[in-house]
């Protein structure tokens, strides 16, 4: 559920008319609902309240500082995949003991940074990474807390680009080799084994893959106990889907109902890494119609938001519901809704049935709160949009719109080119 709705034909974000946000901040514009974000966080906490747990928000979904501060204020942690994400998390007050660090390509500097800040644990993805963390921890005279990311070879039945738990993927350690890796880790002087991690993908709309993956990991945990390796943390990952079109993803409560019977009695703290299911439906992207153009076999609605603002349709052929900011009763047309970027792949929707629009009309791209701004770019030297957070009847700018000057910040022209 989210808090974007129509009142008398006008789209509102909580108690704020979206049109007023456009008038004040312009387009393209990302708008987030405070009430939706907090509701989704509460849904996870309530669902898993019976057992010790930490909700580590997957920062790659949305890394705006205001969103992260909201997460911190509600007791959440962070799932990070870079030194930059660690910096952002610490800057807004997320406790290091609630930060887990995943990703297959951690650099030496990033490892040192995370060790110096004493994060909860590294989710280690390979033998060489394990040995490198051990070496760096030794140089720093510290002990590195780690979990091994285990690839359970479970099909999450999602888009292949966001599936991560099969044998063919770059992530994690094959489950059949897990015991061997834990034995290796146990023998390393500067490593403390505290957990196990699995994450099978994103936008998963069934509970069964989560259950199947967890069952395989629980068998591994029992095997580790038999070898005297007792873990304190079980990171079950994230990946719960949201509704973009006509999906019926499970509520966190439904996920908990299936997982809790398997987890009770483990004497272990559960770590969860939701991202999309927290932020996805909490955000929209607002855009203005620039032109209408008749093509050979279709109509084009050209808007001021492009693939550099919202990459998902281009990258994944992803569907986002697109609605008018102000409802109308004009005739229905079938059109491609496209942006101004110089690429044929620059589209927000293809062959979409919509009411006829006119120059200056505004549209809302729904469910854009996750992997929207966080994947945006300056391609075609386009400044990135502003971001706004709405709480009840108030609105707050949480990122200023970039300017042309921002585009060249940090660039330098060597003296010889001025001669």
Cβ neighbours of 45 (radius 10 Å): 15
- Return d(Cα 350, Cα 306) in angstroms, integer: 13
Q: In terms of domains, do 284 and 251 share one?
A: no
Q: What is the dihedral of CA 37, 43, 44, 46, to 10 degrees?
A: 140
What is the per-residue burial (b if ≥16 Cβ within 10 Å, else e) of 152-161? bbbebebeee
Q: In terms of domains, do 266 and 286 share one?
A: no
Helix (H, G, I), strand (E, B) or coil at 376: coil
Residue 415 within a domain: no
pLDDT of residue 155: 62
Residue 332 within a domain: yes
pLDDT of residue 275: 96
Q: In terms of domains, do 262 and 364 share one?
A: no
Residue 180 within a domain: yes
Residue 318's domain is classified under what CATH number?
2.40.37.10
Q: In terms of domains, do 249 and 118 share one?
A: yes
Q: In terms of domains, do 133 and 214 share one?
A: yes
Q: In terms of domains, do 207 and 294 share one?
A: no
Residue 171, domain extent: 103-272
Residue 65 within a domain: no
Q: What is the dihedral of CA 75, 81, 84, 90, to 10 degrees?
A: 20
pLDDT of residue 246: 86
Q: Supply 272's token pair.
A: 């969860």
362 is known as an active-site residue:
no
Q: In terms of domains, do 125 and 142 share one?
A: yes
Residue 85 within a domain: no
- Return d(Cα 127, Cα 146) in angstroms, integer: 12
- Return d(Cα 164, Cα 148) in angstroms, integer: 15
The residue out of 229, 255, 272 marking a domain boundary is 272
pLDDT of residue 297: 80
For residue 238, which of 81, 117, 357, 88 has the smallest C-alpha distance?
A: 81
Residue 10 within a domain: yes
Residue 210's domain is classified under what CATH number?
3.20.20.10
Q: In terms of domains, do 129 and 261 share one?
A: yes
The dihedral of CA 344, 349, 352, 354: what is its sign?
A: negative
Residue 128 within a domain: yes
For residue 299, which of 335, 324, 254 has the smallest C-alpha distance?
A: 335
The dihedral of CA 219, 222, 227, 230: what is its sign?
A: positive
Residue 178 within a domain: yes
- Return d(Cα 70, Cα 74) in angstroms, integer: 6
The residue out of 272, 297, 318 marking a domain boundary is 272
What is the per-residue burial (b if ≥16 Cβ within 10 Å, else e) of 176-212? eebeebbebbeebebbbbbbbbbbbbbbbbbbebbbb
- Return d(Cα 91, Cα 325) in angstroms, integer: 35
- Return d(Cα 285, Cα 260) in angstroms, integer: 36
pLDDT of residue 1: 67
What are the average pLDDT values for consecutive 10-residue runs of the chain, which has 419 residues? 92 98 98 98 96 97 98 98 98 98 96 98 96 98 97 63 46 88 96 95 87 92 95 94 90 95 93 96 98 89 98 95 95 95 96 94 98 98 98 97 98 93
Q: Which of 168, 342, 412, 417 is catalytic?
A: 342
């Amino acid at each position: 559920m989210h808090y974007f709705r129509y009142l008398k034909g006008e789209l509102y974000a909580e108690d704020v008319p979206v049109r007023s946000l456009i008038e004040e901040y312009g387009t393209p514009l990302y708008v987030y609902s405070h009430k939706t974000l907090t509701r989704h966080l509460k849904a996870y906490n309530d669902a898993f309240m019976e057992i010790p747990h930490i909700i580590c928000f997957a920062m790659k979904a949305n890394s705006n500082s205001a969103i992260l501060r909201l997460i911190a204020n509600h007791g959440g942690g962070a799932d990070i995949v870079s030194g930059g994400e660690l910096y952002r998390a610490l800057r807004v007050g997320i406790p290091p003991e609630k930060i887990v660090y995943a990703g297959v390509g951690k650099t030496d500097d990033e490892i040192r940074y995370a060790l110096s800040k004493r994060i909860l644990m590294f989710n280690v993805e390979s033998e060489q990474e394990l040995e490198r963390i051990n070496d760096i921890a030794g140089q720093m005279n510290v002990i590195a807390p780690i979990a091994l990311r285990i690839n359970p070879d479970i099909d999450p039945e999602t888009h292949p680009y966001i599936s991560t738990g099969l044998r063919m993927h770059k992530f994690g350690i094959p489950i059949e080799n897990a015991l061997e890796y834990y034995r290796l880790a146990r023998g390393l002087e500067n490593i403390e084994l505290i957990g196990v991690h699995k994450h099978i993908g994103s936008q998963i709309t069934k509970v069964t893959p989560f259950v199947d993956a967890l069952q395989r990991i629980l068998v591994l945990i029992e095997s580790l106990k038999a070898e005297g390796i007792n873990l304190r943390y079980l990171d079950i990952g994230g990946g719960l889907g949201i509704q973009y079109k006509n999906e019926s993803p499970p509520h966190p409560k439904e996920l908990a109902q299936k997982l809790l019977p398997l987890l009770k009695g483990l004497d272990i703290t559960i770590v969860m890494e939701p991202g999309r299911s927290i932020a996805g439906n909490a955000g929209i992207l607002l855009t203005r119609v620039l032109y209408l153009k008749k093509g050979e076999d279709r109509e084009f609605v050209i808007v001021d938001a492009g693939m550099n603002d919202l990459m998902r349709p281009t990258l994944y052929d992803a569907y986002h519901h697109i609605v008018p900011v102000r409802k109308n009763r004009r005739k229905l047309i079938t059109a491609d809704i496209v942006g101004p970027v110089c690429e044929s792949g620059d589209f927000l929707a293809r062959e979409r049935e919509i009411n006829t629009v006119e120059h200056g009309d505004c549209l809302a791209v729904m469910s854009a709160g996750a992997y929207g701004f966080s994947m945006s770019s300056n391609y075609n030297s386009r400044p990135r949009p502003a971001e706004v957070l709405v709480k009840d009847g108030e609105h707050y700018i949480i990122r200023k719109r970039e300017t042309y000057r921002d585009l060249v910040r940090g660039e330098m022209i060597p003296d010889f080119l001025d001669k």
